[in-house]
Structure 1
C-alpha cells in the first residue's frame, strides 16, 4: 500500500481570467517519490481525481519552486469552492499497471 499524503491548501488561480486552478503539494516530491513528476490518485474533500504532481514554474513567497496539482472547475463547483478557498486533499501515488 502506498503512502497517503493528507493536507490543506488554498486554491490558487493558474491564469487570471482563464478559470484554471491548482493546489500546492507541500512535500518535496523528489525526496518522497524520487522523481520530478508523479502520477497520483487524489481526493478533493472526497471527490476522486487522477492527475499528476508537476512543476509548472510556480514559486512560493520565498522564491522556492512549488509542485502543484490541478483542480478541475467541475470539482470546484461540486464542492462549492473557488479561488482563495481552503480545501482538504488526500494524495496517493498511482499504482503502476
Structure 2
C-alpha cells in the first residue's frame, strides 16, 4: 500500500490520520543502555507514514502480551517507537531483551484528563480552565499528576495557583 501526501486530507491545520485497522507484531523490549534510567520501548516495524498518513506522533491503543496501554508512537532517530511502561513490564513479567507480542491500533477517542472537582473548580474560579483545556493532553496530564502527587493540602493549593499562573501566561512548564 503506497500513499502520497496528497492522499491525506487536512482538517484545519491538523492532518487527518488514516486508520488501517490493528497491526500485530512480536518485538524485543529495548532500552538505551548509554542513558541511566532510560525508558524501555519496542521498535515499530511498519512505516507510520504509509499506515497512518503522518510521519510524526501517532496516538495509539496498544496491548503488550494482552496488557492494555494508551499512548503514542513517537519518532526517534528516524524510526517510530512505543514505550513499554514499568507497570506493563511488571504485569507481563518481562524486561529488556525479552520478546513481547504487541497489538497496535489508531486511537481516535478523545483524550481528556480528569481533574478532581476541587482542582477543576479552582482553575475555573481564576478563569484558567479554558486555557488549561486548550493545552495538549500530555501537558494537561503532567499538570494534573503534579498537583495530585502533593501530599499536603497547602502544597496542592500552591500547585494549583502555579498551574493557573503558567497556563494563563501561555507558558506551560510541565
Structure with the higher strand share, 1 or 2: 1
Q: How far is the alpha carbon of 1:95 from its aligned partner?
A: 1.5
User: Counterpart in 1 of 2:74?
Assistant: 54
Output the TM-score relative to the length of structure 2: 0.48
* Greater Rg by CA: 2
RMSD of aligned residue pairs (Cα, Å):
1.6
Structure with the higher helix share, 1 or 2: 2
Q: How far is the alpha carbon of 1:20 from its aligned partner?
A: 1.3
Which consecutive unaligned segments of at least 5 residues does structure 2 have?
1-18, 111-174
Structure 2 distance, partners of 1:44, 1:32, is: 20
Structure 2 distance, partners of 1:93, 1:9, is: 19
User: Counterpart in 1 of 2:85?
Assistant: 72
Output the TM-score relative to the length of structure 1: 0.84
Structure 1 distance, partners of 2:99, 2:74, is: 20
Structure 2 distance, partners of 1:20, 1:2, is: 28
Structure 1 distance, partners of 2:32, 2:40, is: 5
Q: 1:39 aligns with which of 40, 53, 59?
A: 59
Structure 2 distance, partners of 1:5, 1:14, is: 25
Which consecutive unaligned segments of at least 5 residues does structure 1 have?
58-64
Contact 2:20 2:51 in 1 (8 A): no
Offset from partner CA, 1:50-87 (integer Å, 9 cap, x none): 01111122xxxxxxx22100010111011110100000
The higher-RCO structure (CA 8 Å, 6+ apart) is: 1
Offset from partner CA, 1:10-32 (integer Å, 9 cap, x none): 00004543051000110000010
